[in-house]
Amino acid sequence: MFDPASPVYFSGTWHSASGPAREVIDPATLEVVGRIAETMAEEREAALDAARAAQRGWARLDAKSRATALHKLANRIEATDMRRCAELMSREVGKTYPDAIGELANCAGVFRYFAEMARDEAGKVAGSTQAGSFQFARYEPLGLSVHIMPFNFPVLLMCWTVAASLAAGNGCIIKPAPVATLSTLDFMQVFADLPPGLVACLPGGAEVAAALIDSPKTHAVAFTGSVEAGRAVAVAAAGRMKPAVIEAGGSDPLIVTANALLDVAAAGAVTAAFHLTGQVCTSAERLFVQEEVYDDFLRRFAEQTRALRVGNGLKRSEIGPLVSKAARDKVIRLVEDARAKGAEVVTGGRIPPEQPVGWFYEPTILAGCTPDMAIMHEECFGPVAAVMRVKDFDHAIELANDTPFGLGASIFTTSLEEAMEAAERLEAGMVWVNNPLIDNDALPFGGWKQSGLGRELSRLGLDAFRRSKMVVIDHKPQRQGWWYPYPDDWFYESAGRKHS
């Protein structure tokens, strides 16, 4: 059992938390992995004070020096043996070990990207409104940013926003997901070379998150999680007039047209629907397949799905457990509702009999789905693909957009016309053609509609953590003609214009 002595991380070291402790349970074995204590007000305030003090010095650094520090941080990530962190992640959230290692391997690059992005430009020079005046905008840090993280990619998604915030000159307060705290704390070692206090990790639940958002010592919020929680975070941040980046999940569509390469589409759909046991915000949950290829695609999709291995993430398996009993109960509810309304269970649809312990559920394909089924409107967040037959491309686009969500959308086709039409007409923040779930540090990540506000990654992700300041410098000082008091002839001219 991993027992970190119930720590919080701030001032460059670990401190004991004084709040009530809880056990961390492995969702695959239901065994106790470790214990974590809630961060209390005293530790929280100490961390905020230390971060604010460190941030003042960090903000005064020139961009090159900050970039050098972030490149050094990236070097440390690459040089650190991440096997312990990956194992902790697998044991506390059920992620397969290869997926955990893969997540950690992608962290260094985002720090390098934002290090150079922030160094590339720090403002804008505008065309002057008058001679002898230099007019420009400066981009400056906000202060302290709060990062409220999810369980599914607890370290990588934290790095996405922390890297951008640090590059902008801020300090960062991380509130990890309660079920993904051990791996997040273990990762904190990579920040050891930054100014002590600049980055803090404060374990806890919703009360800790609410206190950090409400604190006058914090200045921005980054959140990834459910729509319901995202809405609450957005409201709380708005109440304090703090900018917030909200990534709130979705129920992504995947379209297979009559022009798709079906072997590619089936393989892509397996990964899009079942990666991380379907617990990805951009998982393909609703599949719309054109009737000409419906049966053929369904057969290939089912064949490849049945080849997936279900089991402990530390063993040879692609499908680990769901993160909790509540998560599995929701999946079961949605599958049973669809079955009762006429959906056919092509494969899966049950708790695997060989896995009686843990929150396992077989990767499931539901065929013949209809719009009246709850799974076509709710976010399932589990290993279930709901497949619906559509008459043509336009019908697929219409149904794909018939949702309150708008995070990502995928399409498989060899038609350039369909690809371009889909990119234009799908109501989502990301569109993938023949290659789902890809992200790019240089392109914005985020959703439309109820799937979120603001963007992560790219220049937009950097701008989320800095504010602008307009500066006007008259380098040839002189009295301006419009300054008070007005010349007398102005009044006569104004009166003449008024009565003419």
CB burial of residue 60 (10 Å; 0-12, 13-18, 19+): exposed
CA quadruple 54, 57, 60, 63: dihedral sign: negative
Q: Beginning with the edge strand found earlier in the chain, give each strand of the sheet holding 364-367 in spatial order.
A: 344-347, 364-367, 384-390, 284-290, 252-256, 408-412, 430-433
**Which helix (H) or strand (E) segment is 491 a member of?**
helix 488-499
The alpha-helical segments, DSSP class H, found in 375-452 are 393-400, 416-425
Q: What are phi and psi of 366, to 5 degrees?
A: -105, 120
Locate 442 and state its tokens: 């240089």
Locate 356 and state its tokens: 């009686």
Q: DSSP string spanning 191-257?
A: GTTSPTTSEEE----HHHHHHHHH-TT--EEEEES-HHHHHHHHHHHHHTT--EEEE----EEEEE-
Q: What are phi and psi of 347, to 5 degrees?
A: -155, 155
Contact 100, 91 (CB under 8 A): no
List 38, 103, 247, 285, catalytic entry: 247
Active-site residue flag, 281: yes
Q: How far apart are CA 349 and CA 364, in angstroms?
A: 5
The alpha-helical segments, DSSP class H, found in 341-415 are 393-400
- The CB density around residue 417, as the number of other CB atoms within 10 Å, is 10
The closest of 170, 202, 168 to 184, measured between CA atoms, is: 202
Torsion of CA 180, 184, 186, 187, to 10 degrees: 150
Q: How far apart are CA 153 and CA 241, in angstroms?
A: 28
Active-site residue flag, 121: no
**What's the CA angle centered on 133, arms 132 and 134, to 5 degrees?**
125
List 85, 201, 281, 369, catalytic entry: 281
Q: How far apart are CA 197 and CA 241, in angstroms?
A: 25
Catalytic residue positions, numbered: 247, 281
